[in-house]
A and B are shown apart, each in its own frame.
Chain A
């Protein structure tokens, strides 16, 4: 392993600009003559718009223009789309209601976009916005996930009279019923997977710019996938053809899924730039982010696990109601379906699984992918019910898991996925050792002497990443392919630019991708620059989410590098007067096999461009190759996380005392960066389990719309985390990478809740397990404990 190659903890190339305050985030971009946008938002969760009176606001100081849904409609700007078609059990397509970028006739959640005010300054736009008078007829709001289908009253969308988007299922019902019929034991569990608000620290922002000389648009935006944004804005919203629309996603301050989607504000900014013929800038404040960024999770689930007399799992059935909010966001329909149910088999050999998912509309913010997207929800179901089953059956939870682990590969689950490689027992062994499982009873007893309740909880998660084989997702309803692209441009002096369709918003691609190139071409890592996030530079790409940039994005680079090497060998062949087949490439040098004739990479690059040594007819000058890589399978990162916590029974406060994570991510490019991804994921998962709760009241008002009300994890909420890996190579991509970005967020919530329920001896703890909820549970169990 070289100091900067694959497997080295190379310090990040991108850090210098961030630690010196020289990053370029969207809000740092200012265009000459720009005006500022402020969005007038609905204060009601559900209302008819009778009239919008903007006359007074238009006279306010500094106002340039005010637009409403009528203007959007007049310009035939298409509505926001959902790009994944789900069919119900009966074969009918999902019921997608209209989603105009500015409301037309009706508002459907608090924060819904009613009008945009464009003014000389942001303060002026905001002040004028206060003077836009909207006459509403307020309607009763549909808020609760569990009862959305039965509340009656006016539905959120006409197309869905009972607020049902689809009734979907997966698995084999008769086989599952049969398994339950012969079960020795059935474990039942009701679960709420709490709604989360993503809260990337950089709020969303957009600068729309229009060049009237060229009749072309540029949109600077906080996006995880600028090419997908361009495609949608062009093909569906009809802003401009793709050759007249450039989308730039510069430095982006975290995404976690919330910046995948194509939102109203960005769409309106780029459209309005032409209307006012000036750049239009919008920057979300935090309250707007709470109201209008797509939220995550929000499932209500009943699950049952059937086991036989030997403690082997024989069947799993799950019914979930998933709240998709007021509109179908970009990928919302895929999250509680194909990103969820196919993971319900967990790491276990469960021969029969059947899952039903009913998706509902409510008068709440749209719900879409948030770190893990469907897989945390699935993992929470399986890892909670497995823990409860172990307790009911009197098994040690580690032992119960181990006897049901999948141990041979490939393993076809009853729910689509074919696991290709893994060693779940190895991760479990290592995790047990790291947490000193044997010492736990002594630690528990010691805590008891201090009046504390100590618990230990497991989570043996699996996820499907490296999203995804295009044909496979196409057959499941995706509107796009999920390949990735790369272009390797070798300059005449031997330095290299890699253009990638992946997008980095904290993941460190400028370093990890450069490590790959540095190792492969034998050139210093500083000679490699990674270019991303600009549709004028990178031709096409699918962006970063679903832990796909290592497994898919880097595989595309490998393919392009293969082509570069092949061409470079031809050039070297001409220079060294040998057949390309006799040329070997190693450590940055081309050598004629069995001789000492050699030439280094930089010299070959120069020869490729001066083109003196070969006839341009036989070999084209230049050294630049592109590739598209379409994966052949999902990848299956898996691991074991163990959480040890202590509860103060007087206050209900839960403290995490120990955390061990042992993950199998396949081949790791940069261990330092991978560990960082795991830390961050765990923090988000712990946030879900202990702190973060989204609360709408019955009128659909978001009560948790600031950092005073929505509890973000802080540094003091965590102990030092022990993060290690095991390794089985992923067989389905050239680098053997599985992906690591979402693992922590997927693994952590059940580990925490399993630890708390272990400490309490009480299974009914809903997330977030706030001190109040835990204290109440303590009150219930204490008399019982005292009696024992």
Chain B
């Protein structure tokens, strides 16, 4: 921290307004982990390739190691901790558990956030090929991806059904 100067940054994280004085070099992932102690978002690399750090910024999946916290001023950030609404697991979280889409769990938050974004972008009918291609930015060393692909497909379907139900209500 060369000069020791800090900047005030304010944003909404998981629905809560937060603001902190930070070193302007602070990455969003550091802000989440170190300043807010939201340690569900992980750091698996230093070249923005592993996807362990994926969060949603204003509804879009972003690798939180690639963006400065101060660049997220006034944004709405959702992390893995904010995905389960009111204590009910998100359908994608359920699908990862149901289909054994995780082993050590380290890549999992990023995988789930990426998968939710995939469905938001492409809709609930995802074929295997699309899922595999779209997971390019997420590395898992444990699962061989087989069950992750199954989980994403099933989670996508479940998200579609949930959306359908909500629309019907």
Are A and B part of the same complex? yes
> Does B128 touch A at the CB level, under 8 Å?
yes
A18 with B108: in contact, given A121-B1, A200-B141 (CB under 8 Å)?
yes
A714 with B135: in contact, given A15-B105, A201-B140, A680-B142 (CB under 8 Å)?
yes
> Does B148 touch A at the CB level, under 8 Å?
yes
A11, A23, A61, A672: which contacts B1 (Cβ < 8 A)? A61
A19, A24, A127, A506: which contacts B103 (Cβ < 8 A)? A506
In the complex, how many angstroms separate the beta carbon of A207 from the nearest chain B beta carbon? 13
In the complex, how many angstroms separate the beta carbon of A558 from the nearest chain B beta carbon? 24
- Complexed CA–CA distance, A683 and B131 (Å): 17
Does A253 lie within 8 Å of B106, measured CB to CB? yes
Does A679 lie within 8 Å of B141, measured CB to CB? no
In the complex, how many angstroms separate the beta carbon of A11 from the nearest chain B beta carbon? 6
Q: Which residues of A contact B39 (CB under 8 A)?
A: 21, 24-25, 27-28
> Does B161 touch A at the CB level, under 8 Å?
no
Q: Which residues of B contact A682 (CB under 8 A)?
A: 144
In the complex, how many angstroms separate the beta carbon of A3 from the nearest chain B beta carbon? 15
- Complexed CA–CA distance, A681 and B96 (Å): 19
Contact with B along A26-60 (1 / 0, CB 8 A): 01101000000000000000000000000000000
> Does A235 touch B at the CB level, under 8 Å?
no
Does B106 lie within 8 Å of A202, measured CB to CB? yes
Which residues, 1 to 20 on A, are CB-close (under 8 Å) to B? 11-12, 14-20
In the complex, how many angstroms separate the beta carbon of A145 from the nearest chain B beta carbon? 25
Q: Which residues of B contact A67 (CB under 8 A)?
A: none
Does B80 lie within 8 Å of A20, measured CB to CB? yes
In the complex, how many angstroms separate the beta carbon of B114 from the nearest chain A beta carbon? 11
Closest to B143 in A: A680
Which residues, 481 to 532 on A, are CB-close (under 8 Å) to B? 505-508
| Chain A count of residues within 8 A CB distance of the other chain | 64
A712 with B141: in contact, given A16-B97, A20-B89, A21-B81 (CB under 8 Å)?
yes
> Does B20 touch A at the CB level, under 8 Å?
no
Which stretch from B5-13, B45-53, B66-74 is at the chain A interface?
Answer: B45-53
> Does A252 touch B at the CB level, under 8 Å?
yes
Interface residue SS majority, chain B: loop
- Complexed CA–CA distance, A645 and B33 (Å): 43
In the complex, how many angstroms separate the beta carbon of A726 from the nearest chain B beta carbon? 20
A505, A675, A676, A715: which contacts B132 (Cβ < 8 A)? A715
Closest to A287 in B: B46
> Does B61 touch A at the CB level, under 8 Å?
no
> Does A609 touch B at the CB level, under 8 Å?
no
Which residues, 192 to 240 on A, are CB-close (under 8 Å) to B? 199-203
Which residues, 101 to 137 on B, are CB-close (under 8 Å) to A? 102-109, 112, 128, 131-133, 135-136
Does A12 lie within 8 Å of B100, measured CB to CB? yes
In the complex, how many angstroms separate the beta carbon of B54 from the nearest chain A beta carbon? 12
B79, B106, B139: which contacts A712 (Cβ < 8 A)? B139
A201 with B107: in contact, given A682-B144, A744-B144 (CB under 8 Å)?
yes
> Does B41 touch A at the CB level, under 8 Å?
yes
Which stretch from A93-101, A342-350, A716-724 is at the chain B interface?
Answer: A716-724
Q: Which residues of B contact A746 (CB under 8 A)?
A: none
A11, A121, A283, A706: which contacts B47 (Cβ < 8 A)? A706
> Does B163 touch A at the CB level, under 8 Å?
no
In the complex, how many angstroms separate the beta carbon of A287 from the nearest chain B beta carbon? 6
- Complexed CA–CA distance, A14 and B100 (Å): 11
In the complex, how many angstroms separate the beta carbon of B79 from the nearest chain A beta carbon? 7
- Complexed CA–CA distance, A252 and B96 (Å): 19
Q: Which residues of B contact A744 (CB under 8 A)?
A: 144
Contact with B along A399-425 (1 / 0, CB 8 A): 000000000000000000000000000
Q: Which residues of B contact A24 (CB under 8 A)?
A: 39
Q: Which of B33, B102, B143, B145 has the most CB of A within 10 A?
A: B145
Closest to B146 in A: A679
Does B105 lie within 8 Å of A715, measured CB to CB? no
In the complex, how many angstroms separate the beta carbon of A59 from the nearest chain B beta carbon? 14
Does B93 lie within 8 Å of A20, measured CB to CB? yes
Q: Which residues of B contact A15 (CB under 8 A)?
A: 96-97, 102, 105
Does B38 lie within 8 Å of A202, measured CB to CB? no
Q: Which residues of B contact A251 (CB under 8 A)?
A: 104-105
Does A21 lie within 8 Å of B147, measured CB to CB? no
Does B1 lie within 8 Å of A707, measured CB to CB? no
In the complex, how many angstroms separate the beta carbon of B83 from the nearest chain A beta carbon? 8
A20 with B40: in contact, given A15-B96, A507-B103, A720-B128 (CB under 8 Å)?
yes
> Does A84 touch B at the CB level, under 8 Å?
no
Q: Which residues of A contact B45 (CB under 8 A)?
A: 286, 706-707
> Does A771 touch B at the CB level, under 8 Å?
no
> Does A673 touch B at the CB level, under 8 Å?
yes
29 A-B residue contacts at CB 8 Å? A15-B97, A19-B108, A20-B83, A21-B38, A21-B39, A21-B40, A21-B79, A25-B106, A28-B39, A200-B104, A201-B141, A202-B42, A202-B44, A202-B106, A253-B42, A286-B46, A287-B46, A506-B103, A675-B100, A676-B144, A676-B147, A680-B103, A683-B143, A707-B47, A707-B49, A707-B50, A715-B136, A720-B128, A720-B149
By a beta-carbon cutoff of 8 Å, the part of chain A in contact with chain B is: 11-12, 14-25, 27-28, 30, 61-62, 121, 123-124, 127, 199-203, 251-254, 256, 283, 285-287, 505-508, 672-673, 675-677, 679-684, 706-708, 712-716, 718, 720-721, 744
The 10 A-B residue pairs with the shortest CB-CB distance in the complex, in nearest-first order: A21-B40, A253-B106, A18-B105, A506-B104, A683-B144, A679-B144, A21-B80, A506-B103, A28-B39, A707-B49
If A201-B139, A201-B142, A718-B132 are given as contacts, then 19 extra A-B residue pairs at C-beta distance below 8 Å, sorted by A number, are A11-B97, A11-B98, A19-B97, A20-B80, A20-B83, A20-B84, A20-B89, A25-B42, A28-B39, A127-B2, A506-B142, A676-B103, A679-B143, A679-B144, A706-B47, A707-B47, A707-B49, A720-B128, A720-B149
